[in-house]
Amino acid sequence: MKRGYIFDLDGTIYLGEKIIEGAGETIKALRDRGDKVIFLTNKSIETTDAYVNKLNKLGVETAPKDVINSNLLTARYLKAKLAFKGKVMVIGEAPLMNEIKEQGLEVSDNPEEVNYVVLGWDRKFTYDKLNIAFQAWRNGAKVVATNPDRTCPMHGGQIPDCGAMIGAMEGATGEKVDIILGKPSLLAAKFIVEDILKLPSERCFMVGDRLETDVKMGNDYGMNSILVLTGITDKNMVEKTPFKPHYTLNSVKDILTMKIDTVV
């Protein structure tokens, strides 16, 4: 039986500009035996084309259809909700902005006319942007976010991610954002499992380095969750978390030799 694998990227397939040992060989072996492979990233500061190019450069053969990011998931959601009848304010960088515009949605910085505020990772985040978003919320705009990641793993450490923008907005409003479209969203899981992989959830594996996003999404949607210890999470964190992975591996290369006991 074919299986479906959804791989996180940062901390799972590569760190920064360096591929994790054995990742490319593992992806090839899974495909060669007939399994389906999709890459899913919460990172909103790059386009899907950039990920395709990076993976190919690192030796992982990848086509545009193989990569899904939180920008695409967010833009699809807004398109369905607004049906071209509303406007969106975007806190984020060019890839997120462009993805939303490519879906035919209108972007505005006027807090009196926007229906949605979108929070993405923004490395030029300012008080002025926060204030405009806050005023839009006061005027009734809903607030959505691309992803909840507090940090992004890099060689030598971590840097703040979209979670910092979410924290600022929630601190100002006193309310949680209305919805998060990237991992661990069940909307994302449903779209990938049912529309892309087209397999039963119990024959799918969510593979990543984060407990609160990768593992949680896999568990919540009835997939098999695989935690790899090459990114954010270490063994001590696994012992304390409520989001217990079905499998914990040192690296993605261990997938080929792991004993699978939850899938037939």
pLDDT digits (tens, 9 = 90+) for 75-109: 999 999 987 688 999 999 999 999 999 999 999 99
Fold: same for 4-42+183-257 and 71-180: yes
Predicted pLDDT at 263: 47
Domain 71-180 has CATH 3.40.50.1000: yes
Q: How far apart are CA 188 and CA 146, in angstroms?
A: 11
Q: What kind of architecture, by CATH, is found in domain 4-42+183-257?
A: 3-Layer(aba) Sandwich (3.40)
C-alpha angle 217-21-251 in degrees, rounded to nearest 5: 35
Domain ranges in the chain are 4-42+183-257, 71-180
Predicted pLDDT at 202: 96
Predicted pLDDT at 261: 67
Taking phi first (over 0 means left), then psi (-120 to 50 degrees means alpha), and beta for anything else, what does residue 73 get? alpha
Rounded to two decimals, the pTM is 0.89
Judged on CB neighbours under 10 Å (0-12, 13-18, 19+), 263 is middle
Residues of the chain below pLDDT 70: 84, 261-264
